[in-house]
Structure 1
């Protein structure tokens, strides 16, 4: 696939996700809550997780309505996690996606509630009524909800964040660091791939290969994040640069060194592409190019 064709697909997909999120996140939630929710989730971000859902669904010729709902749901979970992670009791950050963090703009209590509401909305989005534009079979609803819940809970994103906070100032070996980041970042990215795959028929080998791809890509994303934290400035990143180093948090750069971390990112990209090659699926070009964009990004 040529770069311009991939670029068109990304632009079209992002427009669809943005429009869907705009329609799903309520402006009229009580006491300004809707405004805070929309501030947190609309008009910014890479939307990598939704793109992975849509690309994986396309690879298995899946249900596009279900995939778009899943794409929005996973982005709502991601956005809620950022709102909470940025708060003073967690990472205490003031910049996200190039603008003040939600708690800076709306206050800590409203930010906490906005995150809570977005988490609940994600599962509402996965269980639409027929009157909301289409149906998702109950078995698929249950599968999508299970994938999202397990990847964002104690054994996934929330558990990884707990380990991250508990590890400040402590030396970690690579295996422990990998487990932390697998949970904190990797599992939700892997779940995005698997939610897209769940929207269509996929043979056992294809499902395993997509899972392996998601696992490698998820870890690669975090490795690159750690690299960018020490090589880019805040204006490029859209968030505070150097904050992990300043907070004395263990990262792939602090544990392995910069060049070894770069080499690991390349290795993980190769593993992701090898998994796609083993999938038996006819067209995995979007997924392959998304792996490139993860490793080659500059923010």
Structure 2
């Protein structure tokens, strides 16, 4: 293992620990000001769906982008946690019987299995709305204009024109297989939109220039494509014990992916290309970009 890889993995673990600690604190049963109460079972389901391990990659990307551009660390941590709430809500809802119908998530029972379907829906709803609470709260020490920009950009990434719309396209793809362009659009929405926000959001937290923000956005788009391509490849080549969730689902449902269209060798080559292109976008930042460049390679090469 190289020094750069070792430093990246150390930073990733540290960020995950800090993200988990703040999320744990925010999801306590003690009501916040203006909250009437926090039902015990609902809070337990929210914690089950969000405090179950994971690499916390999206908050990590946001924090690293903000740090590279000189942004405030505490605010970046809080916005990263808000982003993780959105991501976890989406997983809870995606796992429901009406959607992907999964029993396992990160090696543990999914929320609707550990609790029930109604509680899982409400836990997802609550995490979704709580994300915007975290950004808007006074504890997130950013200028109001930056908070507004974060809320708008995250809402666009998570809603009908982003992640949620991508899930709708994904469900439709089980009935009518899209062409290659359709698959790319689906994946850019369902998976790529939040990863793109993670990188662009870090630039917003830092109050960066429009040029910096666009460069980080483009970086996020590249790694978003790589993340989903790696996921599709692992669905073919890995197993449930390694992944912590069911594999082989795409083939079983006849769902078209870029891997099914082009094969595993093409996918591996394309992942290498995407990692290199993403890394090249950050060359103007010199050594400050090293961790994010390592992240691009990590996403392309991941095994779980």
TM-score range relative to shorter protein: over 0.9
Q: What is the match of residue 58 of structure 1? A: 67
What RMSD in Å do the two structures reach over aligned CA positions? 1.5
Give 5+ residue unaligned stretches, structure 2. Answer: 31-37
Local SS of the residue matching 1:155? coil
1:135-194 deviations in whole A, cap 9, x for unaligned? 322111111111110000000000001011011143322211101100000011000111
Map 1:118-197; keep pairs closer than 5 Å: 118-129=127-138, 132=139, 135-197=141-203
Give aligned pairs, total: 295
Question: Counterparts of 1:202-221 in structure 2 under 5 Å?
Answer: 202-221=208-227
Matched, 1:286 2:288: no
1:283 is paired with a residue of what secondary structure?
helix
Residue 58 of structure 2, aligned match among 45, 49, 60:
49
The TM-score with structure 2 as length reference comes to: 0.93
Asked whether the 8 Å contact 1:182–1:219 carries over to 2, the reply is yes
1:210, distance to aligned residue in structure 2 (A): 1.1
* Residue 222 (structure 2) pairs with residue 222 (structure 1): no
Comparing 253-262 with 97-106, which one deviates more in the overlay? 253-262
Q: Is the 8 A contact 1:54 1:68 kept in 2?
A: yes
What stretches of structure 1 of length at least 5 have no aligned partner?
none
Question: Shift in Å at residue 201 of structure 1?
Answer: 3.8
Contact 1:157-1:183 at 8 Å conserved across structures: yes
Matches within 5 A, 1:66-85: 66-85=75-94
1:255 maps onto 2:261 in alignment: yes
Deviations 1:109-160 (CA, angstroms, capped at 9, x unpaired): 000000000001000010113xx4x532211111111111000000000000
Q: TM-score, normalised by structure 1?
A: 0.95
> 235-244 vs 167-176, which deviates more?
167-176
In structure 2, do the counterparts of structure 1 residues 263 and 170 end up closer, same or farther at CA, with 3 Å as the change threshold? farther
Find the aligned partners of 2:4 and 2:294 in 1 and give their Cα distance: 10
Alpha-carbon distance between aligned partners in 2 of 1:205 and 1:26, rounded to the nearest angstrom: 39
